[in-house]
Amino acid sequence: MDSTTECIKKPLSVLSALFAAVVCVFLAVALREIPDEPGGLTAAAAAEIPRSGVEHPVTAVLLNFRVYDTWLEVGVLLMAAMGMLLFQRRSDLRDIRLMPSPEPVLHWLVRLLFPMLVLVSGYLLWMGKFAAGGAFQAGVVLGSGGVLLWLAGHPSLTNFPGRLFRSLLIVGFLSFLLASIANMAFGQAILAFPPAYAGTIILILEAAATLSIAATVSALIIGLQPVVRDRDRAPIHVPSD
């Protein structure tokens, strides 16, 4: 990890720098031709907002016009969670040791603050309809709460049994899938939300995605900790200095 082992080969470095410079100039030339006018799909999106079920244009694009992208994006997140479980040879987080909690104040404070985080997360989720916000922001706040709980010596995700833990990881992706299947059953195009219910459907999908994002984000952090084979062993004693 230290800098002495890092040997950068001189000729390669010069070549690569030259190449990068050429790429940069090439792209800069291409930039000059791009029209400097408000093009794009601003007007097209604005015209369809009333039918989208939300009021904020970005949320309308993200969760209605291009919701397919968002669904697959939740899929990438799920893939990352599967990768972590695969690399760490785990099927859940139960064999991860609890952080010892040498600081009773921290232990207490986190327990007090966690409900606040849940509240903030819920607010962010709900706000996505009118302003910048939404599932991802809400999920990350909630997920950070999960990490914080675990850091302060509370069990959090490490107490979830395998099946439940994995269900939590997939619930976001699954909700979009179920919505699509329901669309098919009603003979609609998949991921089509009837304008009257669009707002509600989007909120449900976002809530499910928030749960999955929170679980994934905290699992990605907690899951990289070393395994304790003997689950009954007491938390490792931290020597005081």
Partner 1 sequence: MSETLMPLAILLPFVGSLICFVSRHRVSVFTGCVTALLTAGTIGWLTYDVAIHGVQVYALGGWSAPLGIHLRVDGLALFMMIMSAIVGVAVTFYAVSYFGEHDAQEEKRGAELFWPIWMFLWASMNALYLSGDIFNIYVILEILGLAAVGLVALTGRRAVLVAGMRYLLAAMAGSLIYLLGVVLLYAAHGTVDIVLLGQAIEPGATAMAAMTVMTAGLLLKTAMFPLHFWLPPAHASATAPVSAILSALVVKASFYLILRLWFDVFHATITLEAGYVMGALGTGAILWGSIQALRQARVKMMIAYSTVAQLGYLFFVFPVSADHDAANAATWISIAGQGSLYQALAHALAKTSIFLSAGVLLHAAGSDHIDHMRGLAQRLPVTVFAMALAGVSLMGLPPSGGFVAKWMTVQAVLAAGQWWWAPVIIGGGLLAAGYIFRILRPAFSPADVQEALHPVPRSLELCALGMAILSIVIGLRATDLLDVLLIGAPFAIQAGGAL
Partner 2 sequence: MSQYQFYSLAGMVLFALGLHALVILPHILRKILSINIMAGGVFLFLISIAARNFEDFPDPVPQAMLLTGVVVALSATAFAVALARRIYTVTGRSELDEEDRVP
The residues facing 104 across adjacent strands are none
Q: Helix (H, G, I), strand (E, B), or coil: what is residue 162?
A: helix
Instruction: Confirm or reject binding of residue 8 to partner 1 (CB under 8 A).
Output: no
In the chain, helix, strand, coil percent, each to 5? 70, 0, 30
Interface mask (CB under 8 A) for partner 1, residues 78-107, using x and -?
Answer: xxx-xx-xxx-xxx----------------
Two tokens at 107?
């232990």
Q: From partner 1, partner 2, none, which one binds at residue 192 (CB under 5 to 8 Å depending on kind)? A: partner 1
Report in angstroms how near the CB of residue 27 gets to partner 2 at its nearest.
4
Instruction: Confirm or reject binding of residue 55 to partner 1 (CB under 8 A).
Output: no
Instruction: Confirm or reject binding of residue 64 to partner 1 (CB under 8 A).
Output: yes
Rounded to 5 degrees, φ, ψ at 96 are -90, 135
Two tokens at 168?
């939590």
Distance between CA 229 and CA 178 in Å, rounded? 38
Rounded to 5 degrees, φ, ψ at 227 are -90, 145
Q: From partner 1, partner 2, none, which one binds at residue 24 (CB under 5 to 8 Å depending on kind)? A: partner 2
CB neighbour list of residue 50: distance below 8 Å, 6 or more residues apart: 195
For residues 24-43, which are near partner 1 according to CB under 8 A? 26-27, 29-35, 39-41
Report in angstroms how near the CB of residue 47 gets to partner 1 at its nearest.
9
Please give the distance of CA 138 from its chain centroid, rounded to a whole number.
9
Report in angstroms how near the CB of residue 142 gets to partner 2 at its nearest.
15
Q: From partner 2, partner 1, none, which one binds at residue 191 (CB under 5 to 8 Å depending on kind)? A: partner 1
Q: Helix (H, G, I), strand (E, B), or coil: what is residue 46?
A: helix
DSSP string, 205-219: HHHHHHHHHHHHHHH
Instruction: Confirm or reject binding of residue 166 to partner 1 (CB under 8 A).
Output: yes
**Closer CB to partner 2, residue 47 or residue 116?**
47
Question: CA torsion sign, 208 to 147 to 169 to 235?
Answer: negative
Q: From partner 1, partner 2, none, which one binds at residue 174 (CB under 5 to 8 Å depending on kind)? A: partner 1
Distance between CA 191 and CA 66 in Å, rounded? 9
Two tokens at 240?
């005081």
Among 8, 44, 105, 234, binds partner 1 (CB under 8 A): 44
**Closer CB to partner 2, residue 46 or residue 204?**
46
Which residues make up the interface to partner 1 (CB under 8 A)?
A: 26-27, 29-35, 39-41, 44-45, 48, 61, 64-69, 72-73, 75-76, 78-80, 82-83, 85-87, 89-91, 163, 166-167, 169-170, 173-174, 177, 180-181, 184, 188-193
